[in-house]
């Protein structure tokens, strides 16, 4: 069985590639980073280290890579594979769609007995695979769409493993936290699909993706933005400060009430889930920079993402949202010059003002109480 994975970055090598390889797939990475591509081609293996006391290490072998800029080569790989996965960033999905679309056309034209193909986006987003499907379908003609309707599946998924920016002499070596969870929507897959070891299959992904995004990622980004405001470099340093931790915990109480109401989670079990997540953030064997965790603030402030969606859901239910609003305010202080989205946000705040900028990116009207609260918090920071 062959798997083509887009994105040989941190989660690609440290999680998806590792699990697929363990499950017996021959993994080919597609990436635009030539250093990674050449190293994978030359060595065909890399090491994954767990962030624990014994620094347990596992070698992933039998892997290779292709140049993601080579459209023809990418299309060939899509045509030949049994499974496609991605971990490129949700904003990059549109850039990998042309190679996938061309590869699906090649599969159709091959005319032999067609095998189902599953394409799973492993990104931090609601409906990541559905978003990728839309980008791909926009590039297909009617015949190719009919083919894809019959033979190509885009199940949504939720992935959870903290993998920080890597700083090793070996560009392929990757350090990861021990915990992982990969949940895939079984109802969007071919009935005969052979399960991948280590993946959890569910028939309704919504509670899983929302619980993950609105707990792990909401807590993480609040820690990053408030931590940044307090001058900390890493999540570990930020959470060690009780002032930061209490805002993070408060935000998770707000999203927690939303999640418990929406999905009927047991409140005590959800509280345990929150405590476990906070424990993962302070793993002493990891160094996770606030600039990584807060990266792409416009994506994180977008209407369907980890701050705005739970805040509006909470507000609609009469749940207080002070801490989530504080997170949004702190996102507006995230002034990181090598993050293009932070630069854009800061420039709109300067050009107009924070209320106008927040309203523009969150989609929340300026007079809305959630936005008013965020702006008030911003001015108090
Ligand atoms: N790192 C984590 O802790 C973590 C955990 C869960 C989910 N995620 C999600 O996984 C995705 C990737 O995150 P990451 O931390 O691994 O980022 P990363 O930057 O380490 O990896 C992304 C990789 O995609 C590659 N890429 C960019 N454009 C490409 C293209 N057109 N074709 C092929 N490859 C391309 C980049 O060169 C890079 O190697 C994001 O959506 C992120 O939200 C990350
Ligand atoms: O990858 P992002 O930018 O969506 O979010 C940053 C981190 O919160 C994220 O990468 C987490 O480490 C990860 O989602 C844990 O599963």
Q: Assign residue 49 a region: left if phi > 0, alpha if psi is -120 to 50, beta otherwise? A: beta
Helix (H, G, I), strand (E, B) or coil at 86: strand
Which residue CA neighbors atom 40 of ligand 1 most closely?
89
C-alpha dihedral sign at 199, 222, 300, 89: negative
- Ranges of residues in the chain with a pLDDT under 70 are 112-113
Q: Are 289 and 238 in contact (CB under 8 A)?
A: no
Atom of ligand 2 nearest to the CA of 163: 12
What distance in Å separates the CA atoms of residue 92 and residue 74, rounded to the nearest whole number?
15
> Does domain 207-380 match CATH 1.10.1040.10?
yes
Token pair in block for residue 184:
């895939």
What is the separation of C-alpha 329 from the centre of its chain, rounded to a whole number of angstroms?
22
What strands, in cross-sheet order, belong to the sheet with 45-50? 57-61, 45-50, 174-176
199 burial (CB, 10 Å; 0-12 / 13-18 / 19+) is middle
Residue 85, ligand 1, Cβ within 6 A: no
Ligand 1: distance of its center to the CA of 10 in Å?
Answer: 6
Topology at the third CATH level for domain 2-204? Rossmann fold (3.40.50)
Which residues of the chain are in CATH 3.40.50.720 domains?
2-204
349 is in an annotated binding site: no
Q: What is the pLDDT of residue 322?
A: 98
pLDDT tens-digit map of 81-91: 999 999 999 99
314 is in an annotated binding site: no
**Partner residues linked to 85 by β-bridges:** 5, 120
Q: What is the pLDDT of residue 111?
A: 75
Q: What is the pLDDT of residue 114?
A: 81
Q: What is the pLDDT of residue 113?
A: 64
pLDDT tens-digit map of 290-326: 999 999 999 999 999 999 999 999 999 999 999 999 9
Residue 217, ligand 2, Cβ within 6 A: yes
What distance in Å separates the CA atoms of residue 250 and residue 327, rounded to the nearest whole number?
10
Which residues of the chain are in CATH 1.10.1040.10 domains?
207-380
């Amino acid at each position: 069985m062959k798997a083509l994975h887009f994105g040989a970055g941190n989660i690609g090598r440290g999680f998806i590639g590792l699990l697929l390889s363990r499950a017996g797939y021959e993994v080919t990475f597609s990436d635009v980073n030539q250093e990674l591509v050449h190293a994978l081609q030359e060595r065909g293996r890399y090491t994954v280290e767990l962030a624990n006391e014994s620094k347990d290490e596992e070698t992933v072998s039998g892997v290779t890579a292709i140049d993601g800029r080579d459209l023809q080569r990418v299309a060939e790989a899509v045509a030949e594979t049994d499974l496609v996965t991605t971990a490129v960033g949700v904003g990059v999905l549109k850039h990998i769609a042309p190679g996938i679309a061309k590869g699906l056309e090649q599969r159709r034209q091959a005319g032999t007995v067609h095998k189902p193909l599953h394409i799973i986006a492993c990104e931090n987003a609601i409906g990541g695979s559905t978003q990728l499907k839309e980008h791909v379908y926009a590039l297909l003609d009617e015949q190719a769409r009919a083919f894809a309707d019959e033979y190509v599946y885009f199940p949504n998924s939720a992935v959870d493993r903290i993998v920080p920016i890597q700083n090793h002499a070996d560009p392929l070596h990757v350090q990861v936290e021990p915990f992982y969870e990969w949940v895939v929507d079984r109802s969007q897959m071919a009935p005969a699909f052979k399960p991948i070891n280590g993946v959890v299959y569910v028939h309704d992904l919504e509670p899983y993706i929302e619980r993950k995004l609105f707990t792990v990622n909401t807590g993480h980004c609040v820690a990053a933005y408030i931590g940044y405001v307090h001058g900390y470099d890493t999540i570990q340093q930020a959470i060690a400060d009780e002032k930061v931790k209490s805002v993070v915990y408060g935000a998770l109480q707000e999203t927690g009430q939303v999640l418990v109401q929406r999905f009927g989670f047991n409140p005590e079990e959800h509280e345990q889930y929150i405590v476990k997540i906070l424990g993962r953030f302070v793993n002493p064997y990891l160094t996770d920079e606030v600039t990584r965790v807060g990266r792409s603030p416009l994506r994180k402030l977008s209407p369907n993402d980890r701050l705005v969606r739970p805040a509006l859901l909470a507000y609609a239910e009469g749940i207080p949202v002070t801490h989530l609003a504080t997170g949004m305010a702190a996102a507006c202080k995230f002034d990181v010059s090598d993050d293009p989205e932070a630069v854009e946000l800061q420039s709109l705040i300067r050009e107009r003002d924070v209320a106008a900028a927040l309203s523009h990116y969150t989609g929340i009207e300026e007079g809305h109480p959630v936005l008013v609260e965020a702006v008030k918090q911003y001015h108090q920071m």
